[in-house]
Structure 1
């Protein structure tokens, strides 16, 4: 049974370990910085997937200039075929809708590229993938 919920302070170490398992070292470092910033601003936009008391997925969203951005989705290797990513994307979309963002984008880098087809299957168009996200506050500080 998958539990999709807001991140809690106690999850930090598990989330960090998940990043280290799945992401390259460079991307992991960038993601940890952005993750820390977003936790400080609005932890509502960081959602975890939990199975058997383990964190098996994380999605990090951010809002910049009233636009919502899917920044990073990380799913444990053992759970990558179980549609955890869809559940996290959907949960974050609800949060964006609640916060009444004007538009929702997906940040486009080599780490997110493999999941573009998933976003497309959920109704996102090519124009919703933003390559110039390096200026986002979550990334640039």
Structure 2
């Protein structure tokens, strides 16, 4: 069963591995070091989520806002889990938090 929860820095290694194997992921768009991602999570903790199954991260989204606009970064779903609405659920969750 897929579970959705807020992302923490403890998810970094699994998340980064997912991003590396996701075609088209622009890993130059942010500082993707552990420190850089921690900074994003710390400033936007209500907008960063993962989906996991049996403790394995299968999808991520980093949401951020400047107070006027919302942004999505690192929206990724593992290949075996695509076309199951997981990415859509993550996006809708962030949009709800943006409100």
State the TM-score, normalizing by the size of structure 2.
0.81
Greater helix fraction, Structure 1 or Structure 2: 1
Mapped to 2, the partners of 1:65 and 1:94 lie a distance apart of: 15
1:70 Cα deviation (Å)?
2.3
- What's the counterpart of residue 6 of structure 1? 6
Which secondary structure does the structure 2 equivalent of 1:28 belong to? coil
- What's the counterpart of residue 94 of structure 1? 96
1:12 Cα deviation (Å)?
1.1
- What's the counterpart of residue 19 of structure 1? 19
Correspondence list, 1:1-141, <5 A: 1-23=1-23, 27-31=26-30, 32=32, 35-97=37-99
Q: Unaligned stretches of 5+ in structure 2? A: none
Aligned-pair RMSD on alpha carbons? Answer: 2.1
State the TM-score, normalizing by the size of structure 1.
0.60
Report how many residues are paired: 96
Structure 1 residues 37, 10: closer, same or farther in 2, change over 3 A? Answer: closer
The answer to whether the 8 A contact 2:9-2:41 is kept is no
1:36 Cα deviation (Å)?
4.2
The answer to whether the 8 A contact 1:15-1:55 is kept is yes
Mapped to 1, the partners of 2:49 and 2:16 lie a distance apart of: 14
- Deviations, residues 44-68 of structure 1 (Å, cap 9, x unaligned): 2110011121100001111014222
Q: Say which structure, 1 or 2, has more relative contact order (CA 8 Å, 6+ apart).
A: 2
